[in-house]
């Protein structure tokens, strides 16, 4: 479906971003990966994606808190792939604390990586999409782009900002062949939340499976985690021609969290 399209995916060396990379490569898209991690593992994933799907897969380790490196990421993608058709802003970091105890430097870092980086990637990628007359910009928001949770002031502010930025870009690109959407996951089963599940299971004397379900049910009526494959399938759909008139949306995929 996406044969020959060129995609930049931030935060794509693990978790949700890597699942999106696999799904887009499976549809024939060439990839520019970005993120942190062990160099050997990053290279292994890069080579595996290229080999299994017969697409070009490059990697750039730009620090998304630094605008100059973000510009370099987009320039590297244009050089390696020949353009940018698809931009997935997925990189994110987290810190939890009450507002009065929140370290200002952590606030600044979260806003920079979770919100400002999306502005900078879009700013540099859009001219290439306009030149091609086609583009897909998809921003990873969160249920916290739609509702709030205590102890997450910076994350919630950034994700609400992502939803607003998505709407503005959608309006500015309407009718150009470019769409801009956000998706808003609830609890997703990735390696990042395994410690929370383990702590809950130990606290309540439960198995890991029971601990996970107990954790999820606090917010997510389905009682089930969202899988990274389900998220990736949504991204593929939003990149398709069938989604050409879906723009400016913030799509929850949250097991009913925001329906309450």
Would you please indicate which residues are annotated as catalytic (active-site) residues? 155
Element at 251 (helix H, strand E): strand 250-253
Q: How many CA atoms lie within 13 A of 59 on its CB side?
A: 21
Question: Residue written as tokens 């970005």?
Answer: 34
- Give the C-alpha separation, 102 to 148, whole Å: 16
Closest CA relative to residue 83, chosen from 141, 145, 125: 125
**Beta bridge mates, 138:** 88, 181
What letter does residue 83 receive in the DSSP assignment?
S
Question: Residue written as tokens 């989604």?
Answer: 243
| Residue 58: both structure tokens together | 């490059």
| Residue 227: both structure tokens together | 């899988």
Closest CA relative to residue 77, chosen from 25, 178, 139, 8: 8
Element at 31 (helix H, strand E): strand 30-34
């Amino acid at each position: 479906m996406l044969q020959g399209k060129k995609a930049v995916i931030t935060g794509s060396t693990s978790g949700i971003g890597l699942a999106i990379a696999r799904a887009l490569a499976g549809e024939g898209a060439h990839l520019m990966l970005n993120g942190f991690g062990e160099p050997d593992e990053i290279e292994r994933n890069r080579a595996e994606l290229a080999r299994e799907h017969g697409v070009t897969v490059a990697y750039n380790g730009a620090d998304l808190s630094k605008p100059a490196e973000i510009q370099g990421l987009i320039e590297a993608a244009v050089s390696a792939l020949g353009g940018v058709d698809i931009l997935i802003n997925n990189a994110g970091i987290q810190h939890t604390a009450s507002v009065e105890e929140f370290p200002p430097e952590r606030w600044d870092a979260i806003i920079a990586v979770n919100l400002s980086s999306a502005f900078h990637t879009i700013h540099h990628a859009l001219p290439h999409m306009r030149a091609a007359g086609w583009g897909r910009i998809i921003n990873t928001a969160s249920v916290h782009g739609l509702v709030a949770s205590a102890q997450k002031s910076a994350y919630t502010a950034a994700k609400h900002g992502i939803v607003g930025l998505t709407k503005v870009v959608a309006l500015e690109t309407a009718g150009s062949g470019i769409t801009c959407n956000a998706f808003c996951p609830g609890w997703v089963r990735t390696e990042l939340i395994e410690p929370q599940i383990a702590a809950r299971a130990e606290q309540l004397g439960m198995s890991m499976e029971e601990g996970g379900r107990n954790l999820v049910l606090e917010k997510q009526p389905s009682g089930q985690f969202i899988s990274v494959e389900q998220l990736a399938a949504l991204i593929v759909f939003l990149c398709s021609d069938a989604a050409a008139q879906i723009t400016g949306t913030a799509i929850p995929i949250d097991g009913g969290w925001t329906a309450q």
